[in-house]
Structure 1
Amino acid sequence: MKGSLRIGVVGYGTGGQAAAALLARDGHHVEVFEQAHVLGPVGAGFLLQPTGMEVLRQLGLLEATLQHGARVGRLFGETREGRAVMDMRYRDLDRRLFGLGMQRGALFALLDSAWQEDRNIHCGRRIAAIDAGRGVLRDQEGHEHGAFDLLVIADGAASRLRAEVGEAVLDRPYPWGAQWCLVPRRDWPFGDELRQRYAGARRMAGMLPVGTRPGDDTPRMSFFWSVPAASLHDECEGARWRSDLRDVWPEAADTLQDIAVPDGLAKARYRDAAHRRWYRGRAVLLGDAAHAMSPQLGQGANMALIDALALRDALRTSNGLAHALAQYERARREHVGIYHFWSRWLTPLFQSERDRLAAMRDRLFHPLTRMPGSRRQVLRVLTGTRRGWLGVVPLDPRLLDALEAHAERVSPMPCRAFS
């Protein structure tokens, strides 16, 4: 498309931030509408995959991202009794690859810094409705904003606007959520691994190194504790909560001994959402608003970043808005579909009351993922580089060179024997 568009972005989470920065850099006039009165991140930590790193590379943020993130080479999960359930290493796919544990606050600050020139953000504006045909937004007070040439709906998993863009094939909350917090890394022995501990499918705890953030040089860990969504409203009693965690993972309980319970624990809920179409008229869905899924594969932030880049590229190469939005949807569906499928089917194995499924998982999951062909396929999914059942998302050689150079500059990740 030729010329500058006037673009309204609803939501300033990861997808909205990346879209605003990328589209503004292409010369479009971007306005963001964020319901929060004060801009800031939501969430504790996440695992940035190579696919997400490529988007940050194109924004000129890769070096800063590598400085703040914690390099993760291994994803390891075991039962309470010490039986390995998952043991995946990036190097088995490509010696140059690794994940990057990051604080949400670090990613928010970096993306925010990427869009400073001529930025226009309206805080405290909850958009209640859209007119996709006219390109108009209407806020909760009845004020209209626009008309815009393009509306980017990036208001998250609990989007109030997605139904005005595309009919939902599926839009339901998951029955399980999580409690989470950030803690100083201190002497945690697994500084280069995502570690998880399972007690059946009813209890799951996770610890992920997430590095530092701008303005805070303390390396931290992100802690995750699986909880039925219905009980997230209940006030957990501290002694009971600590006893439950210690029963599953004594080392994690020791690390969290200074965290106030329940006040120091944030709550997270998840949705499963899919739509027949991602665009209508001048409006398009992006990020969790388009394809919310459970956190089992840890792809939410990465998918939002890739969405933003795909939308920018579609606007660059297409002849007309309708063609651009169709190209964007087609490209992203080819990638996202397999992740929707696997996250939907894997979730009951890790967050449910299905004890028999958990028992099968404990016996079969690790041996199956040790098989050479199967292992490579699983690694493709975990790294975000699987497209469809057999396709591959190619990684830019410049990204691979940058990751290799970074790995050579820092101390090597310790090699531990397989558990």
Structure 2
Amino acid sequence: MQGRLRIAIVGYGTAGQAAALFLSAQGHRLSIFEQAPVLGPVGAGFLLQPTGLGVLDRLGLSKPILERGQRIERLYGATPKGRSVMDMSYRDHAPDCFGLGLTRGSLFGVLHDAYADASEIAVGTRIDAIDSGDTLLDSEGRKHGPFDLIVVADGAHSRLRGLHPNNIKRQKLYPWGALWCLLPAESWAYPDQLQQRYAGTREMIGMLPVGQRTEHAGRWLTFYFSVPGEQLDHFDAAALAQLRERVAALWPEVEPLLATIAAPEQMHRARYRDVLLREPAQGKVVYIGDAAHAMSPQLGQGVNMALLDAETLADALAQSPSTDDALMAYRDRRRAHLAIYQRLSRWLTPWFQSERNSLAGVRDLGFGPLGRFALTRGHMLRILTGTKQSWWH
């Protein structure tokens, strides 16, 4: 490696946090900028896959993560009438393989506690532009830099991504989003399973055990319900009552758990983007995480991809003679893996979230049998665990 670098990280979500830990461990001088006035997590509970768990293990954070999360052994999805559509067990991929249900707050807390210089993060600082390729400009007109490398990790709705418009191959807002909330899990009958119910392609309910919740006792679940994007901004008391009616009709055992949700404000809204860059790096600027490759949450890989990006970038910097060489190595090492999951996410999403209800019949009849054939089951398990690195091998 060419020596100690001065590096800026824009955004302190999962990608930015992991990059900070890896790069600070290598001795680089970091400046981290976060536009939120108070540091904290954003987003629903999620499923940490073996790939993401491996990155956290390398950071020495396996123990606190496993303590806070909930081990997931199986993904099971069915129609409201009980027809199995998706049934995959992690142990069929490898003997002690599992996923980990986790709240964003738990992951944020573990990563934040591990970063020794967290008190030096510039909060409430929105970066609006990059000057001369190596200097940041914030919304107050202040300059920061110059830097040897700028790591952009400001999420799916990245402000800085637009500074390189010719580099954006795809930037599309998905027409569907989701409503979600956290529910007490004490009475839930499936503590080690991600359970889903599909009613055509217009309605999908999910229940993911996510373990502990920061500053709350007990174990918790993330509940989510697919909703057309335009309805999210108009979700009111009447819409909440309608949602409860639909849940009672589609999945009766879930409806009583919603008793704690009395107001529409208790349901969080989520929108998703499909983002594809031609190149992850432009000069001294490199995009990681959702800023570089946001995708539908249907495959549940966003956090895992962010962790892998941070690890791969740090390794490339450590093993390359120059920053330019490192950024090319980073691109080459992540390209195939990301391309597979972006294409799969784009292809699979309409089968579960879209107005194309005719697809549901094919899905409900075909996905189950595909999961029982050895060849296709192996591919499906690799997709689930985040370990699929090529189309056929």
Query: What band does the TM-score fall into relative to the shorter chain?
Result: over 0.9
Tell me which residue corresponds to 1:366: 368
Q: Does 1:153 align with 2:152?
A: yes
Distance (whole Å) between structure 2 residues aligned to residue 202 and residue 214 of structure 1: 33
Tell me which residue corresponds to 1:388: 390
Give the superposition deviation at 1:21: 1.1
Tell me which residue corresponds to 2:268: 266
Q: Does 1:343 align with 2:342?
A: no
Tell me which residue corresponds to 2:191: 191
What are the superposed Cα offsets for residues 232-255 of structure 1, whole Å, 9 maximum, x if unpaired?
Answer: 011331322211221221111111
- 3-state DSSP class of the match of 1:39? coil
Distance (whole Å) between structure 2 residues aligned to residue 119 and residue 312 of structure 1: 22
Tell me which residue corresponds to 1:178: 178
Distance (whole Å) between structure 1 residues aligned to residue 350 and residue 263 of structure 2: 27
Give the superposition deviation at 1:160: 1.3
User: After the TM superposition, which of the residue ranges 334-343 and 249-258 deviates more from structure 2?
Assistant: 249-258
Tell me which residue corresponds to 1:114: 114
Distance (whole Å) between structure 2 residues aligned to residue 241 and residue 93 of structure 1: 36
Unmatched 5+ residue regions in structure 2? none
- 3-state DSSP class of the match of 1:244? helix
CA contact (8 A) 1:11 1:156 kept: yes
CA contact (8 A) 1:337 1:388 kept: no
What are the superposed Cα offsets for residues 292-323 of structure 1, whole Å, 9 maximum, x if unpaired?
Answer: 00000000000000000000000000110111
Tell me which residue corresponds to 1:7: 7
Tell me which residue corresponds to 1:394: none
User: After the TM superposition, which of the residue ranges 292-301 and 57-66 deviates more from structure 2?
Assistant: 57-66
Distance (whole Å) between structure 2 residues aligned to residue 390 and residue 121 of structure 1: 44
Normalising by structure 2, report the TM-score: 0.97
Aligned length: 390
CA contact (8 A) 2:201 2:356 kept: yes
Distance (whole Å) between structure 2 residues aligned to residue 24 and residue 361 of structure 1: 46
Tell me which residue corresponds to 2:278: 276
Amino acid paired to 1:140? S
Amino acid paired to 1:149? D
Instruction: Label 1:215 to 1:39 Cα distance change in 2 as closer, same or farther (>3 A).
Output: same
Give the superposition deviation at 1:118: 7.2
Distance (whole Å) between structure 2 residues aligned to residue 283 and residue 161 of structure 1: 10
What are the superposed Cα offsets for residues 124-155 of structure 1, whole Å, 9 maximum, x if unpaired?
Answer: 11111113x54111111221111011100000
CA contact (8 A) 1:30 1:119 kept: no
CA contact (8 A) 1:30 1:120 kept: no
- 3-state DSSP class of the match of 2:266? coil
User: After the TM superposition, which of the residue ranges 193-202 and 234-243 deviates more from structure 2?
Assistant: 234-243
Instruction: Label 1:118 to 1:196 Cα distance change in 2 as closer, same or farther (>3 A).
Output: closer
CA contact (8 A) 2:133 2:285 kept: no
Instruction: Label 1:277 to 1:193 Cα distance change in 2 as closer, same or farther (>3 A).
Output: same
Runs of 4 or more above 4 Å deviation: none
Amino acid paired to 1:153? V
Amino acid paired to 1:26? Q
Tell me which residue corresponds to 1:90: 90
Distance (whole Å) between structure 2 residues aligned to residue 231 and residue 175 of structure 1: 10
1:377 to 369, 376, 379: 379
Instruction: Label 1:118 to 1:252 Cα distance change in 2 as closer, same or farther (>3 A).
Output: closer
Give the superposition deviation at 1:119: 5.4
Amino acid paired to 1:286? I
Tell me which residue corresponds to 1:334: 336
Distance (whole Å) between structure 2 residues aligned to residue 369 and residue 241 of structure 1: 31
Amino acid paired to 1:320? S
CA contact (8 A) 1:59 1:114 kept: no
